[in-house]
A and B are shown apart, each in its own frame.
Chain A
Amino acid sequence: VPLRSWLFARDGRTSAEVERDIEDELAFHLEMRERELVESGMSQSDARRGAEERFGDVVRVRERCRTVQMGDRIMLQRAQLVLMIVLVVAVLVIGLQSFAAQSSAQDEIGRMSDEIRRLTAALQRAPGSAMPAAGLSDPLVGARETASRAVAEDAPAAPFDVESESARWLARFEQAKTWRHGLALGEELSELPDDRSLAILERIYAQIPAIDSRQQLLKSFVFDGAKANACEVLHLAATDRELAVQKWAFNYLKSFALRDFSIDPDAYAVWRAANAKEPMPKILARSAADLLVRMRGETGTALRKELEFAARADLRVLAKHLPEEAFTEWKADVLGEAERGAASADGGVQEGALELATRIGVDEQFRRRAVDPLLEPGCPAPDEVRAAAVRALASAPFEGQTARLVEIYERESSGGRESRSVTQAALHALARSKDAHAIPELIRVLVRNDAPAARRDVGSALESLTGVPNEDGHDGEFWIGWFAKNKKRLPEELRAVEIVRTRGG
């Protein structure tokens, strides 16, 4: 196809003009035929109908003419459309990258400005300084030199002017365009030394215009075990004018108060009065003790809620801020309450207690007293409770754990009392264990029973352990072959293992 016919119409016409010409040409033909029929004695309407019938499908003819005239250009239009889409996507990607780079550069400039300001102040105070405080020809070079000198001379830190710093931070938050900026600024702010971040936030928090920023900056104070001043920062958010911000604050406060203020906002004022400006370890010790008291005093649904709530608490906060001994003691006490709950006649309480124990970490005593009875054959506890018991069993390693989980799976998937929640919990635990010893055990399970459901479920666990896609569910034979071929990749003691091709049941 000649290039010119791709780029131009043969006679320079546009697509619209070509279509209009076709339209006119066919209309002319129909009109002429109609006139001929009228002259032969037909009525106008009959003549019109006769002309159309003789002509045939006008739409189809028009389309065929269009294809003949513009075939190449139709291809070109399609190519242009594809090219246009590619270009739009490329422009969007480049735009986003540029925006991200610009934001990053702005933050970097902010950080560098801080550094320059701080180091310039240090220089001014440093004895015998040759560098003037103002009019630096190369502020970065000057700042770095000053930094070396200030460190060498152990110069005192620059004075912290809370008012000017607050104004500067507010200006930065006012420029934050997206939630990511709010998050990044919060991260930077939370790293300021001493309690400067709180001093600044107490002055500017309510003035930060974007709700996103007021929410996002909280993350850096509460994540990864939380900063020491997290409760004070959260108080600013808990008393925010926007419910959306309050909601975030109450959600985060769960980790410090170990209770849910979102269902009882009045309780927050009471809790706050008792904990305002208190050091974090003291706040947490009090909250942990209160939780135990509530657990001991509650029964039924209220106890279940406390158990479930405790199970979802962020233990990293307690682990970081409570003295190790106090934390260990508290966990033992909570586990004791969980043991009491697991023995309850209330299925909901049992489940909550087992969930909490799973989270805290099951010890041998809990396993023996609370978990094992629930996993005895014929235990009348509801399936969901026994599934929670399987999860508790799998939460801390013990000798023979893999064999025990496989045995539970086999028992629960046969014998006429299949409990899918229990079998799934066992397989899920085996899959998560990453214990290669589970591989031959599970293959033997499939050899004994490779019903479609077993292929799917057991194969899914084997997929997690071996990385072999399960797809439609391989049978026992496949897995025996895989095991024989891949023994070298498995631990030494498994290389001598042979899987016998016998099928039971």
Chain B
Amino acid sequence: LEKPELLYGTLDMLVLKAVASGPLHGFAIARRIQQSSGEVLQVEEGSLYPALHRLERKDFLEAEWGVSEANRRAKYYRLTKKGRLELKKSAADWQRISAAVGQAMTARPEGA
């Protein structure tokens, strides 16, 4: 089954959400997004890492090198306080937009 592409602007929010419960490396973040979306969303991996670095520069994430479950050196990203606030704001925006989109899509045509 073909996976739908992520909506523009949602990757940052999904990344922040993925690390909200604890530090993860990039591969785990991609997998977390895929799993938590019920295997519907598949992150374009080529976009993931620039997004991670961008969020790190914005101080929404902080990174540190650690050892992975496979005993390999891996870079772990952790949500910062600033990132948590950003996630809260993004989530609220998303809720509002998705509700509005849902409402628009379920509304009956006028005069029907």
Contacts and interface: CB of A to CB of B under 8 A. Distances in A.
Interface string B7-51: 000000000000000000111001000000000000011100110
B68 A54 contact: no
19 contacts: A21-B65, A24-B75, A25-B74, A25-B75, A28-B25, A28-B27, A28-B72, A28-B73, A29-B26, A29-B30, A29-B49, A32-B70, A55-B45, A57-B46, A61-B46, A61-B49, A64-B50, A68-B54, A69-B53
Task: Name, among B45, B68, B75, the residue most crowded by chain A CB atoms within 10 Å (CB to CB).
Answer: B45
Interface string A22-59: 10111011011101000000000000000000111100
B57 A68 contact: yes
Nearest to B30: A29
Interface in A62-121: 64-65, 68-69
Interface residues of B, number: 19
A5 to B, nearest CB: 9
Given A25-B74, A28-B74, A29-B45, 20 more contacts: A24-B75, A25-B25, A28-B25, A28-B26, A28-B27, A28-B72, A28-B73, A31-B72, A32-B68, A32-B70, A54-B45, A55-B45, A55-B46, A61-B46, A65-B49, A65-B50, A68-B53, A68-B57, A69-B53, A69-B57
A66 to B, nearest CB: 9
Contacts of B44: 56
Contact of A65 (B53, B65, B70): B53
Contacts of A56: 44-46
* Closest 9 pairs between A and B when the two form their complex, measured CB to CB: A56-B46, A68-B53, A64-B50, A32-B27, A55-B45, A29-B27, A61-B46, A25-B75, A65-B53
A25 to B, nearest CB: 5
Contacts of B54: 68
A68 B12 CA distance: 15
A54 B49 CA distance: 14
Contacts of A25: 25-26, 49, 74-75
A60 interface: yes
Nearest to A60: B46
A55 B75 CA distance: 17
B57 to A, nearest CB: 6
Interface of B: 25-27, 30, 44-46, 49-50, 53-54, 57, 65, 68, 70, 72-75
B72 A26 contact: no
Nearest to B28: A32
A118 B8 CA distance: 93
The size bracket of the interface on A is 20 to 34
Contacts of A29: 25-27, 30, 45, 49
Nearest to A72: B57
A391 B72 CA distance: 88
B46 to A, nearest CB: 3
Contacts, number: 55
Nearest to A5: B57
Given A21-B75, A24-B73, A69-B53, A33 B46 contact: no
Contacts of B57: 10, 68-69
A21 to B, nearest CB: 7
Nearest to A24: B73
B47 to A, nearest CB: 8
A55 B48 CA distance: 10
B58 to A, nearest CB: 10
Contacts of A69: 53, 57
B53 A33 contact: no
A309 to B, nearest CB: 77
A64 B70 CA distance: 27
Nearest to B50: A64
Contacts of B25: 25, 28-29
A13 to B, nearest CB: 11
Contacts of A64: 49-50
A265 B25 CA distance: 87
Contacts of B26: 25, 28-29
A393 B34 CA distance: 95
Contact of B50 (A10, A28, A68): A68
Contacts of B45: 29, 33, 54-56
B5 to A, nearest CB: 13
A56 B44 CA distance: 8
Nearest to A61: B46
B56 to A, nearest CB: 8
A28 B53 contact: no
Nearest to A54: B45
A505 B64 CA distance: 88
Contacts of A68: 50, 53-54, 57
A64 B50 CA distance: 6
A28 B75 CA distance: 9
Nearest to B25: A28
B95 to A, nearest CB: 29
Contacts of A55: 45-46
A61 B27 contact: no
Given A21-B75, A56-B46, A57-B46, A35 B70 contact: yes
B76 to A, nearest CB: 10
A3 to B, nearest CB: 16
A190 to B, nearest CB: 72
A37 to B, nearest CB: 12
A65 to B, nearest CB: 5
